[in-house]
Structure 1
């Protein structure tokens, strides 16, 4: 029982809430466009949580192998689980957790390919490559934050829609862009405390490669772009007279105070007492925005404005 608890902790379950809100938004979008299957949504959500947990475990494995985990200063939002450096979990079990969760998630993906069609295969392959290559390969190339933005942001929204509707839609791709930006920014800000350890470990994250000031500016611009995208899509709905993104989705602006605090804190990266609360505010902003966007699609379905 103790080992089972450690294996679960190795997936860092406190961060898997992101998978839950992605599942909510993706399913809300699918329902708005006329197709919803709660059973498939729950199964896909479980698969996404396994995928996310696998990334976390594999990341811990390679971070310890590279020595990064021995130099990093952990925070509640970065630096890994700490189970291997703390002597609580053998290194080989970390890889085992990552591999098993990945394989179970892959089986779920294969099931959906069988019942929904081969058009889902490219999405599954792209997500798998983002997962497997992220820590050992992608983090050693410039601007690696694109990978989680794609694999844990855009692709899940498209996937949740496909497994319920059996097709892709350009409007769903448009709806997924804020998720891609926010997950990109989640990884970006969480890299700030690890910059020295990442540099020693040979990583080329944005803070390492371009400096902290540039990384803070990119974080600010990208956060503003989330709102810019939502507002632009809502305005396009008015102009075109057809829903590009429901006007109700403007309620996502309610998360703005947390976004502002995250931006301000990112600029104070030298002060841990300000940076860590900013990381918490960024998580709140991201989770709340996903929920509010999902509510926006639900409201448009129930009380259509267009």
Structure 2
């Protein structure tokens, strides 16, 4: 097992797991300003469930992409192409699959507790979350629309609304508005990270937006996602769902426009030229919800 542990850590994609607690933080923030009493044990369970779900979807993806041969064709970058853990250590294949199922079952156990506590609304969100985890690699990435919106559904409505309901037992307009921001940003994150894998993904039968519509159209869709996320922040402030301090979240969102302007002339060049902008996009995706949640609490 000790020889497989590094591969398990790689297949969990530990450096990327921060996105889950960042998304949950928005749900915690909305719950904090909406309820008078929050149990911190429930906060910890919500964070743990999100991280476990993220590990599960990553592990399923690693397992299936190795089994299909895709990971043997991709040129890995810090943002795409899988971890390469199973390519280097194929003997850990069944252990990675076991990790995927164990983390999913643990997520479902925590979800079951909250469903018992809060009721039917969480059942539907949980069901969507489970479908996203088990269905992304084998089915969802065969549809451009579903593939585009799957990460946003997971890190937006499922995590943000799920956390808010788990902590408060209720749902309000603030939580719905906040969930729109990571919905757009997570969709955009995966959208750009698919650029380096277009040829390998196409050969493996995937049909995501960059494959079907091209990189230029994908960049236009990315720009639309940025505008919607920014508009959500502004509308929240105008209608007093968010404090005016939350306009600070527009600062990292402005990084997105530098990504668009920087990538546009490089679309016909190699993946190495895109990496600085992919990295900038990751920073924006993580920092924006942190600022938004923090200003909500402070405001």
TM-score (norm 2): 0.93
Corresponding residue of 1:303: none
Question: What is the DSSP-based 3-state SS (H/G/I as helix, E as strand, rest coil) of the residue aligned with 2:88?
Answer: coil
Change (3 A) 1:25 1:89: farther
Distance 2:120 2:234 in 1: 35
Question: What is the DSSP-based 3-state SS (H/G/I as helix, E as strand, rest coil) of the residue aligned with 1:101?
Answer: helix
Corresponding residue of 1:280: 279
Corresponding residue of 1:199: 202
**Residue 189 of structure 1 pairs with residue 192 of structure 2:** yes
For each residue in 1:261-282, what CA deviation from the matched residue of structure 2 results, as whole angstroms up to 9, or x when unmatched?
Answer: 3223432232433311111101
1:11-160 to structure 2, matched below 5 A, reads 11-34=12-35, 35-87=37-89, 89-143=91-145, 144-160=147-163
Find 2:257's aligned residue among 260, 269, 284. 260
Contact 2:111–2:126 (8 Å) recurs in 1: yes
Contact 2:30–2:164 (8 Å) recurs in 1: yes
Contact 2:45–2:110 (8 Å) recurs in 1: yes
**Residue 233 of structure 1 pairs with residue 236 of structure 2:** yes
With 22-31 and 11-20 compared, the bigger mean Cα shift is at 22-31
**Residue 172 of structure 1 pairs with residue 178 of structure 2:** no
With 254-263 and 36-45 compared, the bigger mean Cα shift is at 254-263
With 97-106 and 263-272 compared, the bigger mean Cα shift is at 263-272
Unaligned runs of 5+ in 1: 238-242, 301-306
Deviant stretches of 4+, over 3 Å: none
- Superposed displacement of residue 89, structure 1: 4.7
> How many pairs were matched up?
294
Distance 2:48 2:91 in 1: 24
- Superposed displacement of residue 76, structure 1: 0.5
- Superposed displacement of residue 223, structure 1: 1.8
Contact 1:58–1:135 (8 Å) recurs in 2: yes
TM-score (norm 1): 0.91
Contact 1:265–1:274 (8 Å) recurs in 2: no
Question: What is the DSSP-based 3-state SS (H/G/I as helix, E as strand, rest coil) of the residue aligned with 2:205?
Answer: coil
Unaligned runs of 5+ in 2: none
